[in-house]
């Protein structure tokens, strides 16, 4: 049997990049057996690019135009080309504010992960911590899932629960969810690195 291919992650993000930093830290602390191949952003001044460059990780702005909410057409092809150029064999979406389309999904089948600030399938979509707070749930959290053609519908890999406190605001709840996100994402990526994710239909089994 041939040796398992080392995990080389291409990270896509649009904002501050705190989950990107958690992946960088997990690799440095030997909790995640992987390399970051590159960091790509659709926002030229995104902090995630600055974080990557501080760690000497290749970082590029690639415009998503003319679309505003999806990665499609020539822009999608530009992202695929960049990921391949840097030798990425998996993709981590870390606050990437675009819907992924079939071209990218087909280029990295079963190897694109996303982090979502809710216990999916509850509260998909935008600002899910605000949805949870408005609904009045007692527990929410975060989910790492494989990306499919739907919106936050892919098979679940790792979840972390976060209690909702009586005096929580949207800001305090989101901050506590992010603490758990920073644990969950490296954990899920390590399962991928170890080749332990078996996908059957809409389910993930850890082998």
Q: Which residues are annotated as catalytic?
A: 116
Query: How many C-alpha atoms does 70 have within 13 Å on its Cβ side?
Result: 11
Per-residue burial over 120-138, b if 16 or more Cβ lie within 10 Å, else e, is beebeeeebbbbbbeeebe
User: Distance (Å, rounded) from C-alpha 9 to C-alpha 101?
Assistant: 19
Is residue 121 reached through a cis peptide bond, with omega within 30 degrees of 0 on the bond before it? yes
Query: How many C-alpha atoms does 26 have within 13 Å on its Cβ side?
Result: 24
Tokens 């501050």 -> residue:
16
User: Distance (Å, rounded) from C-alpha 3 to C-alpha 19?
Assistant: 29
Left (φ > 0), alpha (ψ -120 to 50) or beta: where does 32 sit?
beta
Name the token pair of 170.
């949207």
């Amino acid at each position: 049997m041939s040796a398992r291919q080392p995990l080389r992650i291409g990270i896509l993000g649009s904002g501050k990049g705190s989950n990107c930093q958690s992946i960088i830290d997990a690799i440095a602390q030997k909790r995640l057996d992987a390399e970051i191949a590159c960091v790509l952003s659709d926002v030229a001044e995104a902090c995630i690019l600055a974080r990557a460059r501080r760690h000497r990780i290749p970082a590029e702005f690639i415009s998503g135009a003319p679309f505003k909410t999806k990665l499609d057409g020539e822009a999608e092809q530009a992202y695929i080309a960049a990921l391949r150029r840097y030798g990425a064999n998996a993709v981590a979406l870390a606050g990437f504010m675009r819907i992924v389309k079939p071209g990218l999904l087909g280029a990295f089948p079963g190897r694109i992960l996303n982090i979502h600030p809710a216990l999916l399938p509850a509260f998909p979509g935008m600002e899910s911590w605000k949805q949870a707070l408005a609904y009045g749930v007692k527990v929410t959290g975060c989910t790492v899932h494989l990306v499919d053609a739907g919106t936050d519908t892919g098979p679940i890999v790792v979840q972390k629960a976060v209690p909702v406190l009586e005096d929580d605001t949207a800001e305090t709840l989101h901050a506590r969810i992010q603490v758990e996100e920073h644990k969950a994402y490296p954990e899920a990526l390590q399962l991928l690195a170890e080749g332990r994710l078996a996908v059957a239909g809409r389910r993930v089994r850890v082998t």
